[in-house]
Amino acid sequence: MAGELILRKRIDPVLQRRIEMALGRPQSQQCIARPTLRQIVDLPRRCATHEGRAYAARYIREGSRWTHSSTFQVSEHLAQQQYGDESGVIIPISDLGEEHCPWCGMTGKGAGYCPRCGMYFCYGLSTNETAVCACGCSGRWTANLDGHRGTVPGLRIGVFRR
């Protein structure tokens, strides 16, 4: 009818995809898959050079592997509210990419791990033979063979280590 306003409800995108699949929509016309919340993980880090300032390395799941996407500064408030250390997603060491510390600019594969405080830190004060953590601990490099623990952004899981 002319001149009438038609109100339409928005359909949930997941439900929309299920309907399209059930109707047999050809593959070429299907929506391009975008990362979902569960496919994005942030790994909490600390800058060894700048008094342990917080940052995060973001990884996106692509198939069966994780790919480094970006690193970004995180305020102390956000670090306390968003990034946890009690549980989360483990990124295997083999999937760690070249990360860039947004505070000091140092780059390296993944981040160092301090067994004393349990923190992951940038390579800002480290050398080829000696690792120096943001907490002041230093020693020979040790590998954390369990992988790096991260959290899904937006979910409050625990307390960021300081």
Average pLDDT, the chain: 77
pTM: 0.69
Domain boundaries, the chain: 40-150
With beta carbons less than 8 A apart as the criterion, state whether 98 and 82 touch.
Answer: no
Helices marked H in 42-147: 76-82
With beta carbons less than 8 A apart as the criterion, state whether 117 and 135 touch.
Answer: yes
For 2-59, the pLDDT digits (tens) are: 555 444 455 666 666 666 666 665 444 444 555 565 588 899 999 999 989 999 999 9
Find the range with the poorest average confidence among 50-64, 97-111, 121-135. 121-135
Strand positions, DSSP E, 30-150: 40-46, 54-62, 65-73, 89-91, 98-100, 107-109, 112-113, 120-121, 130-132, 138-140, 148-150
Radius of gyration of the chain measured on its C-alpha atoms? 21
